[in-house]
A and B are shown apart, each in its own frame.
Chain A
Amino acid sequence: MVSTAIINPTNLVYARPRGLTQTPSHYCPGCTHGTAHRLVAEVLGEMNVLDRAIGVAPVGCAVFAYNYIDTDFVEAAHGRAPAMATGIKRVLPDRVVFTYQGDGDLASIGMAETVHAAARGENITIIFINNAIYGMTGGQMAPTTLPGMKTTSSPNGRDVEAQGFPIRMAEMLATLDGAGYIVRRSLHDPKNIRLAKKAIRLAFETQLHGLGFSLVELLSTCSTGWGVSPVESLAWLEEHMVPAFPLGDYKVAPSVAALKI
């Protein structure tokens, strides 16, 4: 418990962002959901849109994202967050509507909703947490699970012959004309976290300026599901996930590129 009376304001280098509630989160130690939540909260706070924001929570570990991010929130059925977000944005076009989804929610059961929200160019922002596994339900294979990766439903490692190949969402969605800003970043070290925050900011700016569908895919860890320690999970991400899901800007509409922030 820190008393702000003691700290000299010029020495305050970090404080809980206004957009995060005081509720301690339920996420596993070392889970990058914590980082992702913080980045979203910081960006919405810095853009001064916390009171105009409406979040759509997924089914997955982040089902209780609304306990931590301090905006109006609704709870979607599994995979349907982009549809809910569409409904909200269409009746309240001046609000900042975002979804926060994992790889099962977004790329498995919700694949159609994701693709079509992008194709329609819905002015919503999706924060896509890709950790290549189903966390909440105990570590099953996800659409983004890597070949050979052991999960509870691919116990001998993902066999591409029987279980297919992972899906690269950022690349795929970038082919859609309705998409304004589609990028992939990572949360495994401070440099990439800073780049991730910039991308989240630009994604929300895309929405604010009505420049189309925006999505930030964030490579994330799941040390519990992967069966490694939190520290090992960061290295695992860098070694295995970054080569399979290259970081970069996959779609930046000229109007988005022209934005001065």
Chain B
Amino acid sequence: MSNPPRLQIESGKVVLTGEWTLAALLPQLPELQSRLAAGGFGNLSWDLSGVDRLDSAAAVLLWRTWNERWPADLIVTETHRRAVERVSLAPAGARSETVTARGPVARVGDLLLGAIDNAVGLVTLFGQMLLDVWHLARHPSEIPWKETAANIYKAGALALPVTGLVGFLIGVTISYLSALQLRSVGADLFIVNILGISIIRELGPVLVAVLVAGRSGSAMTAQIGVMRVTEEIDALAAMGISRSVRVVLPKLLALTVVMPMLVLWASAIALVGGMLSAMLQLDISLTYFIENLQRAVPVANLVIGLTKGVVFGFIIAWVACHFGLRVKPNTESLSANTTTSVVTAITIVILADAVFAINTRNMGIPQL
């Protein structure tokens, strides 16, 4: 700034010179402001003829100094007068900041209403899916094979490394910790039962569900959400293509199909990890482990595990699509819905797991 704003007082006259623009004002704003505020300059005469430029930020500053009145005696060029005039004409109306703190009762009510709203949405989506399946059964040519295949690849094939790695580590950890306990009571051989039942029946499905909810569930919500933000969903509708058939159904189908496979894969790797750990820790040979696995873990456990996979996969995709479709066209809503989607999916999966545990309590437990 070659010509900084200057304020001088000469015999009852306030003389402004220089560039009165926001950029030029900033460096000396506190000083200028305090001088203008202290002066009580409202009644003096003002000379603005030496001002090079006057932008609206500076005009606001002057207008406020003048207490929103034109000074009686003012020398100013026509362009600068217009700048101040615009400020004087602009509505100064306060923007009503209505931030009302809600009481605890209202907040609980909000939560409840929100939950009911979501439940209705989920049921509606489920119903829509049934209608779509019925529709596709009568018009098989419209089945979205390509989209389903793409989703199977994205949610399944690409998830193999991470599910395998986590499964292996969990297998090793459980085997190692159990081995320490079992050895102290001389029950080494029960490591096979512990690992087999816990991993195949319980840990495998839940572990994979948590991973997939974080990995694919969030991606699905975000994808549908962005399609809402960019109006792509509306574009589909405008072409007469059902969004639920083309966008929602492939995700539901793909995750339902792919989850049991992921569960199988992750459980197998976890058992391998457990076996290796048992071999090193308890000197249990691999052959012994595999032979006894069949005896210790009735096949019903595998069926339960895989069924859980199917159900969990469906739940994750269902919840993800529901929250994706609820995204409002702004970034805040997108992030909020993605978070809620993952949290809700995992919560419902755990709930479903509890239901499974209760209803299958008499199945697949070996009689010793």
- On whether the two chains bind one another, the answer is no
Interface set of A (CB-CB < 8 Å, partner B): none
